[in-house]
Amino acid sequence: MLKRTLHIKFGQLADHSLDYICGILQDTRTTTILSLKNLSVPELDWQYQDGWNTIGALLAHIIAIENYFRIEFVEGRKLTDEENAQLLPALDMGIHLPKLINKQPFEVYINQLTESRELMLSALAKLNHEDFTRRIEDYDEETGCNLAWVLYHMAEDEIYHRGQISIIRKLYKMQAG
């Protein structure tokens, strides 16, 4: 059974700061998965109004963001055409939203959330302090950013979307009576 550990383990990776961010990422994902209990396909695909995000679309977005960040910022390479085609709808959402309403069962999302996190943690395990703190020419033209901030931002984004998912679930239950 999945359970939050409530402890961040240090000494597992090349640098304690990497241990710390991996602990945050693991807890964020565990909490997200635990918050998704008993979602039905209709609940995953339900829209409050046309153009609104669905729970499934938000989960697809969380998964796509993690894969994108791993490829671009951790692995340091550009997306292939195939990866771009696969990830773009969930990265951008908006006009792509109808493609993200696809009647997938809850377990598919859980498997994808688990797989994307495992791939990220595996990629992070190969890094050192210099990789984690090097300047990346992105987000801010003047200052750039570093991988530490990128990963913090990724966790922040997931937590933000988890809040949206909670609101959508409440709206769904209200309309279902």
pLDDT digits (tens, 9 = 90+) for 39-53: 999 999 999 999 999
Q: Across residues 71-83, what is the average pLDDT?
A: 96
Please, how many CA atoms are within 13 Å of residue 44, restricted to the half-sphere of its CB?
21
User: pTM of the full predicted structure?
Assistant: 0.95
> How much is the pLDDT for 83?
97
Cβ neighbourhood burial of 60 (10 Å; 0-12, 13-18, 19+): buried
Q: Evaluate whether residue 141 is within a structural domain.
A: yes
Percent of the chain with pLDDT over 90: 92
Is residue 15, in this structure, part of any structural domain at all?
no
Is 16 inside a domain boundary? Answer: no
Amino acid identity at 172: Y
**CATH number of the domain that 164 lies in?**
1.20.120.450
Q: Is the pLDDT of residue 164 over 90?
A: yes
Q: How confident is the model at residue 23 (pLDDT cuts 50, 70, 90)?
A: very high
What are the angstrom distances between the C-alpha of 38 and each of 75, 121, 124, 162, 173? 35, 27, 31, 15, 13
| Total count of domains within the chain | 1
1 is a domain residue: no
Question: Would you place residue 110 in the very low, low, confident or very high pLDDT band (cuts 50, 70, 90)?
Answer: very high
Q: Please give the Cα distance from 156 to 175 (Å, whole number).
A: 29
Q: Is residue 5 part of a domain?
A: no
Instruction: Return mean pLDDT, the chain.
Output: 95
Report the pLDDT value the prediction gives residue 139, as an integer from 0 to 100: 85
**pLDDT attached to residue 48:** 95
pLDDT exceeds cutoff 90 at 123: yes
Q: How confident is the model at residue 98 (pLDDT cuts 50, 70, 90)?
A: very high
Domain that holds residue 172: 24-176
Q: What is the pLDDT of residue 45?
A: 97
Yes or no: say if 71 and 79 are a contact pair by the CB < 8 Å rule.
Answer: yes
Q: Does residue 96 form part of some domain?
A: yes
70 within a domain of the structure (yes/no): yes
Residues 6+ apart with CB under 8 A from 146: 132, 133, 134, 135, 136
Residue 48 contacts residue 161 (beta carbons within 8 Å): no
pLDDT for 95: 94
Q: Is residue 4 part of a domain?
A: no
